[in-house]
Structure 1
């Protein structure tokens, strides 16, 4: 995983150029990535997602696709938000702008994502069974339904950040 600061800083996941994806651990074997005999691979389906986020069926669940651009992405559990590094001079500068970005964000349309538990964030080109051997980030989500909203915010003159906020809905 990429690290942009001293040890103990956030771990960031990057892609080889395509979208990142968060797949529930329980259905990882059903994500084939770009490794498929089908004409339309899972990776191709992920690349077709229009906008900042979208959902794709995987097994008996769904994966969250991070569209728009292949920005380095991490998760801030205190804010229940995926942070996408679009532009900043340093990790510290980017993270310092997150609270203001969350307050001023103009959230796009929402999707509802039902997860059975923890998810793995990784490059959508990889098959799910290989995700543990590649650059990935495990996000320990509790089982349930989440409202997912995305925004692209400029919290500083040279700082741009993508935000994907998860709000757990009551059962």
Structure 2
């Protein structure tokens, strides 16, 4: 199901969390806020929207990381129902696309629900105080034209790092709905 993200709730405070990557290493919000900004994104392996932007996502996040913006990705799908999103496949997907950021498993889907994540990809840009400043899309690329694009996420995160404030105008991200478990 195709969904759009809600409008940015400027100033919403990110809840602290601790999640593990597929290798079992723990990462938490508090240690990753950083001096500039933090991008948290909800992605998964099987979503055609994420697959379509994976190369640009890898390039854009590498730029941000190089500029001192921390980046975490969270996979909140019920991978028992969607085996393509399993931790083993997350590891392969991240390696294939050259992701430089930790790709974390939200096993019980608690963090996805706390954040109000609705789709993959769903981007949350926080300032150094953990206040939400961006809930938009990666870029304005059309289906077959990723060359002539405005890197909206990169521009927003650079603005947040410089001013602690995100852009007033934001275009929602769109993607596949998060696959919530019926048993949790």
Give the TM-score normalised by structure 1: 0.31
**Structure having the larger proportion of residues in helix:** 2
**Structure having the larger proportion of residues in strand:** 1
Larger relative contact order (CA 8 Å, sep ≥ 6): 2
Give the TM-score normalised by structure 2: 0.29
